[in-house]
Amino acid sequence: MTTVYLDPRAKKETPEEEVEQSKPVGYYMGVFLAFAAFPLVFMLLWNWLMPVIFGLPAIGYFKSTGLLIMSLMFFRK
């Protein structure tokens, strides 16, 4: 005779059972806008300061994105 504790068909009910909840659409739009806005801010600051101070050329959006990715590769711990 087996008990309920040894019966493999018996399921344990846990109150902390994880329920998968999808994140709202606004969350994903916010993340996208943050990743899109950061290179734009970097580009605007570069084009405002670097050509005047150091005589460097102005850059576009994709070059600023590339510079940010390259700096992450170089300076990440």
Euclidean distance between CA atoms 47 and 55, whole angstroms: 11
pLDDT of residue 21: 78
Reported as a single tens digit per residue, the pLDDT across 32-57 is: 998 899 999 999 999 999 999 999 99
Reported as a single tens digit per residue, the pLDDT across 2-18 is: 566 666 676 666 555 55
pLDDT of residue 49: 96
pLDDT of residue 47: 97
pLDDT of residue 25: 85
Euclidean distance between CA atoms 2 and 11, whole angstroms: 15
Q: Structure pTM?
A: 0.63
**Alpha-helical runs (H) found in 1-77:** 25-53, 61-75
